[in-house]
Amino acid sequence: MSRKRTPKWLQAARASDAGFAPGEKPDWLTRALARSGHMPQAEAQVAIRAGRVSKNGEVVREPMAVVRAGDEIRLDGRRLALQAATRVLLFHKPAGVVTSTVDPEGGGTVFERLAAVLPPGLERYGWHAVGRLDRNTTGLLLFTNDERFVAHATRPESHLPKRYLALVQGRVDDERLEPLRRGITLDDGPTRPAVAVARGPGEVELTITEGRNHQVKRMLAAVGLPVRALHREAVGELVLDVPEGQVRELAPDEIASRLGWRQES
């Protein structure tokens, strides 16, 4: 059985012998700077090690330094506000790029494509992909500055639906789709019932509320409909509405009403 990984901020807190109260959720300095839009994490690490950042009046040179609510953080003597609203981006992922920070095969990453089209003012944030899409799967991919939103959108308990259009091999009819509607058993356990609709010859619209590895492809293959191409059309009540390779920022009311997220204080 694999052990649960200790968060980096907790490792740093233990190393510095810094106690914290039950329920307190400290952050680490580089991530706090990136989340609040002051600079990406890689840039923040350079600034911190160069002695440009102070905490409560003392220069900090450790990027993993623990930051608590109420700490005074300054960059080059200028006080920074670290309270950050949850921001979410809707991106239309093209085929051929991976949902990772590096691509050993050289096809490129979604982070590189995103950086090329970010509106002014958003390039200073640290962005996290919300879930993953395979290299050749296209469509709606969300990014956020807030790891709490990642957890909300990806945990099965949220029941956030994700709608896909799959081009498949084989005859699409109710006989093959009905098992998906009831839920089937894969090698990693039973799936929840899905919404499965025939769109046309060789086309299946599949809506699931889970996010296991290659789940849509595995579900369709299990009923004799191997996938030739896959496109994600919607997440929650949010429908893809930008051209391929483009991005837009969601308004706060969209994040709440279409994705079920409530901003925490």
H helices, E strands: number in the chain: 8, 17
CA distance 34 to 125: 5
DSSP letters along 161-175, please? -EEEEEEESS---HH
Token code pair at residue 258: 């279409």
- Largest Cα–Cα distance of the chain, in whole Å? 69
- Annotated catalytic residue within 17, 71, 103, 134: 134
In angstroms, the Cα distances linking 197 to 57, 163, 209, 234, 247 are 61, 11, 15, 15, 28
CA distance 199 to 229: 14
The DSSP bridge partners found for residue 230 are 166
Active site residue 76: no
Token code pair at residue 66: 């623990």
Which residues, including other chains, have CB under 8 Å from residue 109's CB and lie 6 or more apart?
Answer: 97, 98, 99, 100, 101, 102, 103
CA angle 216, 117, 167 (to 5 degrees): 25
Asked whether 99 and 110 are in contact (CB, 8 A), the reply is yes
Q: Catalytic amino acids? A: 134
